[in-house]
Amino acid sequence: MAGPHLTLALPTFSADDPGGWQHLRDRARAADEAGFDRVVCSDHVVFGENLDAYGNPKIGGSAGGRQPTGPDGHWLDPLTTLTWIAGFTERVRLGTNILLAALRRPVVLAKTLATLDVLSGGRVDVGVGVGWQREEYEAAGLSFEGRGALLDHTLAVCQTLWREQRASYSDEFLTFEAIHQMPKPLQPGGVPIWVSGTVNKPAARRIARFGSGWIPWGPAAADLPTWLPRLKELVAEAGGDPTELQVAAQLPMVRENGRFNVAATMERAAELAAVGVTDFRGAVPVPDDPAGQVDALRAAVEAFRAATAGITTTAG
């Protein structure tokens, strides 16, 4: 058992051309040096122009939410970015929050993630979700309505290739036999999968079948003390083991007079850790200079460790 984890959300997107990404390198290096447990990247492959759909929970959006860029915002591919980051960091884990995994061909995605896990020394987590934007699926030639089944298919193929030396697989989308793919991920059982979703039976079944962790979405993300017990009940009903489930939450940022209050933020994080949250994710504000970033992030880590001392979780 270990204490809760602290994860830094990296600025891998920008509303306008940032003129370079040195700030991203600086932030990732600072997180590694300061003692953050994980860094995560977001994902969009393309955009349509109906960005108001982000705020529509009926199609997977978040009520009242707003897409952070316009359709011409700059979004780095998360797996390419994490591979780059792996090359200049040593210990921090590397994750997606979230990857639209169903947009990738499963056999290629399995290879990419396994390669990244090997080259990084077994530091990879992949957070996945179905997404909210119809245009991304249409641009990839895929069914938006069938995206849940496509995601399940993608995860099943990946885990088959990661776990079986001589792999065979068959479903409505794909059949193969006697397929070999090396190298396997360094982590036993393959790259840990974190499933994003609201509290419902399809998400719980996906977690029970594939997931090491849950990334809450929708109403559950705003009220985990109420919704987490229900999610664990559904996971158990689906045949999973909720006692080992890792749970992410947004770091509950507290600002006073426009400034980030580290101590108050970490006190609120401790309250959520006590009800079962194992990983806190947020974009902690930092100054522009790299040395100042290390100091600011180290202060956040120290405050987090102090506030959550004595709380044990399933996070390894």
Q: What is the pLDDT of residues 60-107, one digit of tens each?
A: 888 888 899 999 999 999 999 999 999 999 999 999 999 999 999 999
The span from the CA of 281 to the CA of 38, in Å, is 9
Q: What is the pLDDT of residues 126-177, one digit of tens each?
A: 999 999 999 999 999 999 999 999 999 999 999 999 999 999 999 999 999 9
Last residue of a domain, one of 169, 191, 213: 191
Domain match, 87 and 186 both: yes
Q: What is the pLDDT of residues 208-258, one digit of tens each?
A: 999 999 999 999 999 999 999 999 999 999 999 999 999 999 999 999 988
Domain match, 162 and 68 both: yes
Residue 42, CA distances (Å) to 6, 77, 309 in order: 17, 8, 29
Domain match, 135 and 272 both: no
Rounded to two decimals, what is the model's pTM? Answer: 0.96
The answer, yes or no, to whether residue 316 has pLDDT greater than 60, is no
The span from the CA of 299 to the CA of 306, in Å, is 11
Residue 215 lies in a domain: no
Give the pLDDT mean for 22-44.
Answer: 98
pLDDT score of 72: 98
CB-based contact 85:39 (threshold 8 Å): yes
Residue 194: closest CA among 249, 268, 251, 145: 249
pLDDT score of 315: 59
CB-based contact 61:55 (threshold 8 Å): yes
Beta-carbon-side half-sphere exposure of residue 263 (alpha carbons within 13 Å): 0
The span from the CA of 204 to the CA of 197, in Å, is 9
Last residue of a domain, one of 176, 191, 206: 191
Residue 29 lies in a domain: yes
Is cis: bond before 183, omega within 30 of 0? yes
Which pairs count as long-range contacts for 296-300, CB under 8 Å and 24+ apart, including other chains? 297/8, 297/30, 297/31, 297/34, 297/35, 297/36, 298/33, 298/34, 298/35, 299/262, 300/6, 300/34, 300/262, 300/266
Q: What is the pLDDT of residues 184-204, one digit of tens each?
A: 999 999 999 999 999 999 999
Domain match, 172 and 261 both: no
Residue 78 lies in a domain: yes
Residue 233 lies in a domain: no
Residue 204, CA distances (Å) to 43, 194, 242 in order: 22, 12, 10
Residue 216 lies in a domain: no
Domain match, 186 and 261 both: no
The answer, yes or no, to whether residue 314 has pLDDT greater than 70, is no
Residue 197 lies in a domain: no
pLDDT score of 52: 92
The answer, yes or no, to whether residue 1 has pLDDT greater than 70, is no
Count of structural domains within the chain: 2
Q: Give me 89's structure tokens.
A: 């960091």
Residue 35: closest CA among 280, 304, 292, 301: 301
Domain match, 133 and 275 both: no
Domain match, 16 and 107 both: yes
Residue 107 lies in a domain: yes
Range of 256's domain?
251-316
Q: How many helices (H) and strands (E) does the chain have?
A: 10, 14
Those residues with Cβ within 8 angstroms of residue 30's Cβ, 6 or more apart along the chain or in another chain: 286, 290, 293, 294, 297
Domain match, 139 and 256 both: no
CATH number at residue 88: 3.20.20.30
Residue 237 lies in a domain: no
Domain match, 166 and 256 both: no
- Beta-bridged to residue 27, according to DSSP, are none
